[in-house]
């Protein structure tokens, strides 16, 4: 086995989304837990958050307004982000 030291190796880049992933409702579809969820980005120091997006019913990603910070507050009553009233797909866009 041999190893080679690469002097020009690419620096590792990563991006993760952390936070709660569900709103809690009772059988009458009334929210019983928090009505917001805060998502946070965990990114490497060589990346920047560009924006957050959600997937709409037409299968197109749409920008959240004013969403270039490291956190995003998702509201349970934001009807634009829910496909079929049940599922929200959220994407973090970074500088690379």
Beta bridge partners of 52: 92
**What mean pLDDT is predicted for residues 9-26?**
88
pLDDT of residue 68: 84
Residue 9 has pLDDT above 90, yes or no: no
Nearest residue to 40 via CA among 65, 13, 17, 66: 17
Residue 22 has pLDDT above 70, yes or no: yes
Domains along the chain?
A: 15-94 (2.60.40)
pLDDT of residue 79: 85
More confident residue, 92 or 8: 92
Residue 36, φ and ψ in degrees, nearest 5: -135, 155
Q: Which residues contact 59 (CB under 8 A, 6 or more apart)?
A: none
**What mean pLDDT is predicted for residues 29-42?**
92
36-89 per-position pLDDT tens digit: 999 999 999 999 999 999 999 999 999 998 888 999 999 998 888 998 878 899
pLDDT of residue 72: 95
């Amino acid at each position: 086995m041999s190893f080679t030291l690469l002097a020009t190796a690419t620096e590792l880049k990563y991006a993760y989304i952390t936070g709660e992933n569900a709103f809690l409702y009772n059988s009458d579809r009334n929210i019983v837990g928090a009505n917001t969820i805060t998502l946070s980005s965990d990114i490497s120091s060589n990346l920047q958050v560009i924006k957050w997006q959600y997937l709409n019913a037409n299968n197109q990603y749409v920008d959240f307004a004013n969403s270039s910070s490291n956190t995003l507050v998702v509201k349970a009553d934001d009807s634009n982000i829910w496909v079929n009233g049940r599922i929200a797909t959220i994407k973090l866009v970074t500088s690379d």
